[in-house]
Amino acid sequence: MEQSIENVGWKTAALLLARFIMAALFAMGLVGKIVMSGMMADEIAKAGFPLPMLLNWLAALFELGMVLAFLTGAFFREANILGAIYVVFLAFAFHFVSHWTDAEGLNFGAFVSHFPMAAGMLFAAVHGPGQVLTLKWGWLT
């Protein structure tokens, strides 16, 4: 079944927009880890992890890699699989039941919000970055 030019155009635009949105989300996390590294390290320590400043900077490097993967399409499938694992880990490590003491329920909302993001990244891993503005680098095809 052949696709019309119109269908290809909107699908390409939607893929590029989705990649940009995901890159922006990880870029916001990256900026937070750089600008507020002390506060982020404190949160990591409060969650019970050792070497919180080192873990903050490792997370920042990972998030930089995610931004680059979304913007370039390089190692896109691999990055999305790792990213899905990462956001589910973050949900449990920083927003799970032990953190549900706030009156507004913000941590419950943060916990739940990680799962649609993980699902979207798994979907992206299966379908790939599209054909436009995509480096064809990666191990998974």
Contacts of 105 (CB under 8 A, 6+ apart): none
Look up the pTM and report it. Answer: 0.85
Q: Which residue has the tokens 């995509």?
A: 134
Predicted pLDDT of residue 1: 47
CA distance 83 to 80: 5
pLDDT tens digits, one per residue of 29-88? 999 999 999 999 999 999 899 999 999 999 999 999 999 999 999 999 999 999 999 999
